[in-house]
Amino acid sequence: MPDWSAQTQQARTWFESLRDQICAEFEAIEREAGSDATFQYTPWEREEEGNDSPGGGVQGLMKGKVFEKVGVNVSTVHGTFAPEFAKTINGAEDDPSFSATGISLVAHMANPHVPAVHMNTRFLVTGKAWFGGGADLNPPIPYEEDTQEFHAAFRAACAKHNPTYYERFSKWADEYFYIPHRGVHRGVGGIFYDHLECDDESGFARNLDFTQDVGRAFLEIFPKLVRRRMESEWTEADKRTQLEWRGRYAEFNLVYDRGTLFGLKTGGNVDAILMSLPPEAVWT
């Protein structure tokens, strides 16, 4: 595995900074709603036999008046993939050792009119080094205005770096966040990218810059959508719609989501990995 330790630390510093900014903004929204909810942070350490520095992370969790359940996790781990799993990871075919750092966020909202959301960005080093991530909006009750503004924020972030990024990455999100056994998409899309490879330090800097703009776009647009909808009146029928939709969300994350599989296959903290699951859901 190439030595990208300095770059891994640089990416980690950004992910932790982004977490702090997001959590502060979410707590501010709770204050505006008359709630004193705050994030509770739980550090965890990864274990791997024969590995003296396997890394770990911090799980941040808040349950409030607006955010029924929101998790913002940052982890930095190092180790060796199991042989069969290594075959599925970019650059790990010949050398199963790896290093990974990233931020993962899922917010499930109390009001059915406020969209749930997912955001994740990461930097991995195997035989290659690359960035991946994205964000997608998951409204139980979609509003076209919200969908358009969410996409516009990420379209602008992509346009700063490559004129092809938004079309490619939004299409990738539509294909990825799809539930085949239901024949439906998980939400209204966003962007998804993976294997954005760094051939040298300049490539790392370029891709980190893009990944930072993805995080900034999320921080700019999602709180705006929350504030727009968080005081909307809702009915029991609206709540039922939300709980049924959450069931679909859970199905995707447990059956198809690569991040869930990666965490479980690499000895991550189970509670942090499964923080994406909603606090309550129903199936008909």
Q: Hey, which residues are catalytic here?
A: 118
Give φ, ψ of 16 to 5 degrees: -70, -40
Q: Which two tokens stand for residue 136?
A: 């997608």
Helix (H, G, I), strand (E, B) or coil at 207: helix
Cα-Cα-Cα-Cα dihedral sign, residues 76, 82, 85, 87: positive
Q: How far apart are CA 29 and CA 233, in angstroms?
A: 18
- E runs forming strands in the chain: 40-45, 55-62, 67-80, 97-109, 116-125, 129-138, 178-179, 184-185, 190-197
| Closest by Cα among 1, 2, 12 to 212 | 12
Residue 225 vs residues 48, 91, 96, 231, 232: alpha-carbon distances, Å: 41, 38, 42, 11, 12
